Amino acid sequence: MVMLVFTLPGFDRVFKVIKDKFAPQKEMSAAHVRACYQLVKEHDRVGRMADTQEFENFVLEKRHISPALMALLLQEAAEKITDLGEQIVIRHLYIERRMVPLNIWLEQVEGQQLRDAIEEYGNAIRQLAAANIFPGDMLFKNFGVTRHGRVVFL
Please say if 44 is a catalytic residue.
no
Q: Active-site residue among 12, 20, 44, 51? A: 51
- CA pseudo-torsion sign 75, 77, 79, 80: negative
Q: Which parts of 1-133 are beta strand (E)?
A: 3-7, 13-18, 52-61, 81-83, 87-97, 100-101
SS3 content of the chain, % helix, strand, coil (to 5): 40, 30, 30
**Could you list the active site residues?**
51
